[in-house]
Amino acid sequence: EPVSLSKESSLSSHRQHSDGTYSLSSHLTLRPDKNPPGTVITCRVSHPALETPSDATLTVDKPEP
């Protein structure tokens, strides 16, 4: 079941580039006790310029010893 991780994330202010485009960055902090190996994390970006949202998905790996 999807869960929002807004408390674990931060978002930068937007930046304008010399070519007229803009960007912003997001940072997500994961805790091993709350996000065990096998947890699937999806970042979804929505914007009016996109026909459909853009997703990036990763699976939390087992920590290295």
For residue 27, give the 3-state DSSP assignment.
Answer: strand
Q: What are the domain boundaries of the chain?
A: 6-59
DSSP codes joined into one string, 44-64: EE--TTSSS-EEEEEEPPPPP
Integer Cα distance of 42 and 59 in angstroms:
9
pLDDT at position 59 over 80: yes
- Per-residue pLDDT tens digits for 7-53: 788 888 889 999 999 998 888 888 888 888 999 999 888 999 899 99
Please identify which residue in the block is written with the tokens 């920590």: 63
**Phi-psi map region of 8: left, alpha, beta (phi>0 left; psi -120 to 50 alpha):** alpha
pLDDT at position 57 over 90: yes
